[in-house]
Structure 1
């Protein structure tokens, strides 16, 4: 399909938000251990998983002091961020968090089918005879699917990411090309948008399978995602943006975001 899902969604946002985008700036940003949170000048907030590069020594020539480097991000135009040629892991997280903030007021009926306070897993059937693959160690989902008697495999990089009782379901993430085509239901973390692996994963899934994408990172316009067999997207909304910034900046995980005000929404195919 050529460009990535993120690239194509950026183009779509540019068309849908042309007038709104022109004066829009980044009012505040927090890059926490787990999440990057962005507050736009129109008051909307978005978050994305923080992708951290491996620690390594840097030569002076590799140091970055561009417009989207530390101490320079606030006040920058959103359009300039989207056009920036600075593809670092931090900037990818910043870009997707900003896309989520820009998308926030657009994720409403009738443009999209939105289920309030809904766990997307409730929309799927699983149990004996169903083959389920989970990309990422979603502990609550692993527990539910395992208890159902489904044939479960969990793709992760390290077995210790799973609770000890569930480690028998671990398969190395490197084996995704053999695991995903055999699954009837595939549950994927939104973090794959930030780490750049989602496109490759979706191209590997059986076209007849059902796909669920979930997590705060997956909270932008779903149009491009729905071109794949994605049935439901578990996204978030932030009624109190300042609280979201505080939680992200103080090292909060997903459960902290929901404890302190984030609302679950589920985007489904109409």
Structure 2
């Protein structure tokens, strides 16, 4: 099985072979904040039809380089496939932009195919911890951490920074993904797709009853993840690109411009089935 980054590029190319993708209309990268605590975490790739792909922009302090890329207008008016192909790159700037492009392509194709997203199921609520569970997290989800610890259910959190590691009864923070092997439920932040750790993470989740990847940047098609044992994706769908961008520029909450959704493995037909209902490429 190819690495997950290569698999996502394969799917993007298959989609582009079947249907004309709308070109990139703009790339939004927020201006640097005067104070570190006020920095915005997300940018976006916006296609000509209004499809929006959200991207996390604080990996490896890439914001200045991302802004330079946007100012060069290298991708303006081009197919998002050109940007998406860089998802296999080790360059964090190119990989960040590629994830935004993949998310925008997914938004476009799901809407084009008439796929009905589930806006009612809470992805995190599916991980309601029960006695006997051993919970795992890749990334830190504060609301859920509090609930788990109050219920005295064992919790393991995987972090990238060694200085955050700690061990105490029922609570482990570690950089060692092998600690996930004893977990019954694992919740991952969607940013794991940017640091190339996901394949290793999922290798250590094979015994888990449930694995989910959630976050605003989890707007990608779920097929490669479902193929690897993930059963739930929780992302954010931008319904109004203009309102979303205005809220971002004003540093306001996204509000009704954005809606959280859940895709579960059971009931999802797969991208090939979705594409089968479309006409050929114009």
TM-score, length of structure 2 as denominator length: 0.76
1:138 maps onto 2:141 in alignment:
yes
1:262 Cα deviation after fit: 1.3
Contact 2:189 2:213 in 1 (8 A): yes
User: What aligned pairs does 1:81-160 form with structure 2 within 5 A after superposition?
Assistant: 81-83=83-85, 87-107=90-110, 114-157=117-160
- State how far apart, in whole Å, the 2-side matches of 1:189 and 1:156 are: 11
Which structure is higher in RCO with an 8 Å CA cutoff and minimum separation 6? 1
State the match for 2:46 in structure 1: 39
Q: CA deviation at 1:19?
A: 4.7
CA distance in 2, matches of 1:242, 1:49: 19
Q: CA 1:246/1:167 → structure 2, altered by over 3 Å: closer, same or farther?
A: farther
Offset of 1:44 from its aligned partner?
Answer: 0.6
Structure 2 SS opposite 1:53? helix
Q: Deviations over 1:210-254 (max 9, x none)?
A: 1011012211111111112212111111111123334455667xx
Deviation of 1:144 after TM superposition, in Å, equals 2.5
Q: CA deviation at 1:206?
A: 2.7
CA spacing shift, 1:242–1:167, aligned 2, 3 Å: farther
Stretches of structure 2 that go unaligned for 5 or more consecutive residues are 31-39, 267-282
1:268 aligns with 2:271: no
Rounded to whole Å, the distance in 2 between the matches of 1:204 and 1:11 is: 25
Structure 1 residues 167 and 118, CA gap change in structure 2 (3 angstroms): farther
The match for 2:191 is 191
- Corresponding residue for residue 217 of structure 1: 217
Q: Which residue of 1 aligns with 2:228?
A: 228
Cα distance, 1:40 vs. partner? 0.5
Quote the Cα distance in structure 1 between the aligned partners of 2:229 and 2:114: 19
Q: Label 1:205 to 1:147 Cα distance change in 2 as closer, same or farther (>3 A).
A: same
* CA 168–125 in structure 1, closer or farther in 2 if over 3 Å, else same: closer
**Separation (CA, whole Å) in 2 of partners of 1:159 and 1:170:** 12
The separation in 2 between residues aligned to 1:11 and 1:246, in whole angstroms, is 33
Q: 1:183 to 1:35 in 2, by over 3 A?
A: same
TM-score of the pair, normalised by structure 1: 0.79
Contact 1:21–1:79 (Cα < 8 Å) also in 2: no
Once residues 181 and 119 of structure 1 are traced to their aligned partners in structure 2, the CA distance between those partners, rounded to angstroms, is 25
Q: Deviations over 1:160-193 (max 9, x none)?
A: 989xxx9983512x2222x111111010000111
Structure 2: how far apart are the matches of 1:38 and 1:207? Answer: 36
Aligned residues: 251
Extract unaligned runs of 5+ from structure 1.
56-62
Q: How big is the alpha-carbon RMSD for the aligned residues of Structure 1 and Structure 2?
A: 3.4
